[in-house]
Structure 1
């Protein structure tokens, strides 16, 4: 639909090219953001799990040393 609008627009070839590149960049950016946001959220969850595991291990070591 966007391509048809750009093709039939009464403007110079340079203006049509500019609008076409802008449309392509808009789609590319939307796809990139859609893929990046879940990846960053998942990475933060993984980091939190690592920190929680390290804390749990430290607490277990401390509790074991207090028992002895």
Structure 2
């Protein structure tokens, strides 16, 4: 498996990787998450995927919780 580290990829390869993560029917329209915004630093070579993922925290709620 090829490394996804910034030093081992081009910007085009990083964009292609993020595109792979977005299914045709992503079902994310109403959740307020935009993978392009979340991973913009990775695409632009600023932060690694692991750093971005580690910085994300959130509380997950069900309809019962609301």
Kindly indicate which of the two structures has a greater share of residues assigned to helix: 1
Scaled by the length of structure 1, the TM-score of the pair is 0.26
Higher-RCO chain (CA-CA 8 Å, sequence separation at least 6): 2
